[in-house]
Amino acid sequence: MSQGVKEVGLYVRDQDEALAFYVGKLGFRVHTDVRNGDYRWLTVQHPDQPSLQLGLFKPGPPVLDEATAQTVHAIVAKGAMPPLVLGVDDCRAAYERLHAVGVEFTQEPTSRYGNVDASFRDPSGNGWKMIEARL
Amino acid sequence: MSADSASQAPELLRRLLRAKDRMDAASHEDWPVRRLARVSRVSEAHFARSFKRAFGVPPHRYLLTRRIERATALLRDTDRPITEIALDTGWESLGTFGRTFRDVTGESPGAVRARARAAAHELGRVPACFVSAAHRPDLTIAVSEKRRREATDINGSEQKEIP
């Protein structure tokens, strides 16, 4: 069995909306989508990175009480969750493709010291930096 | 986070974040409340108060910290003349830039440039976009208030906050 990080979770405001974004727009694949009552375990993975699952979780009961869930929703909507980084081969091409399908970019591709990066947010407010790293 | 901002609807916060993102993307531009309110789809009357509740600082002061952050990065990472940096980061003159920069950071732009050059690049492994954020000034009070407190000659004169 391989060791290492297997799954990292994000909080999203709506799991169907997040699924449409991460799978329909970013091109991730569904790894697991299991429901148990109101609870839904939903993870996606990058097609080039099958070893890591990205969980898309809605804060709420039974895991979190309503008040805590409301606080988490507010933190996500304010863009206060930690930065996420997506590596791409060609930042400008990825920007054109994602911008065309309506991804909300907060920074257009910018060259810095040989790297090119851009920024976008998912519908919930989670912020991604998209980086084309120098080879 | 204060209970105050937790009581704001996530849908509103998400739209306020959009105004903050727009200032981040173009901090050199003018961002009157009318323009920001339109981005967030809230009334002008509610925008500034809602923004401050959500993010802890009034929108114009947030913009100021982003301008100073960007100017600091340009002072550190480029050889461009300070006047050019001032105009590029949203100030109308070198004088206003220098005065505001000193009031916020406690140092002149030239001193920051000299010190940054002397320092080792210990943040070299952090992506450049995040390094910049690490140098953002933490402006918890209005610049006018900061000036007032630091003034040796307290004569009660009113100064307009910039920008």
Q: What number is the average pLDDT over the span A21-31?
A: 98
Given a contact cutoff of 8 angstroms between Cβ atoms, the answer to whether A32 and A43 are in contact is: yes
pLDDT of residue B146: 78
Q: Which two tokens stand for residue B45?
A: 């009357």
Q: Which amino acid is at B9?
A: A
* Least Cα separation, residue A133 to chain B (angstroms): 10
Looking up tokens 């994602």 gives: A98
Of B94, B73, B87, residue with least CA distance to B28 = B87
- A20 secondary structure, DSSP code: I
Q: Which amino acid is at B118?
A: A
User: Where does chain B have alpha helices with state H?
Assistant: 3-6, 10-25, 33-40, 44-55, 59-77, 82-88, 94-105, 109-118, 128-134, 143-150
Question: What is the pTM assigned to this prediction?
Answer: 0.84
Of A56, A128, A123, A125, residue with least CA distance to B54 = A125
This complex has an ipTM of 0.93
**B25 and A113: CB-CB below 8 Å?**
no
CB pairs under 8 A between A and B: 59
Find the CB nearest A78 among B17, B24, B128: B17
- How many other C-beta atoms can be found within 10 angstroms of the C-beta atom of residue A118? 25
pLDDT tens for residues B52-103?
A: 999 999 999 999 999 999 999 999 989 999 999 999 999 999 999 999 999 9
Q: Does the CB of B76 have a partner CB in chain A at under 8 Å?
A: no
B42-to-A42, B3, B15, B16, B39 alpha-carbon distances in Å: 33, 21, 9, 9, 8
For B150, list phi and psi in degrees, rounded to 5.
-85, -15
Which residues in chain A have their CB less than 8 angstroms from residue B8's CB?
74
Find the CB nearest A71 among B6, B24, B55: B6
Pick the residue of A12, A95, A106 with the most B CBs within 10 A to test the interface with B by mutation. A106
Q: What number is the average pLDDT over the span A96-108?
A: 98
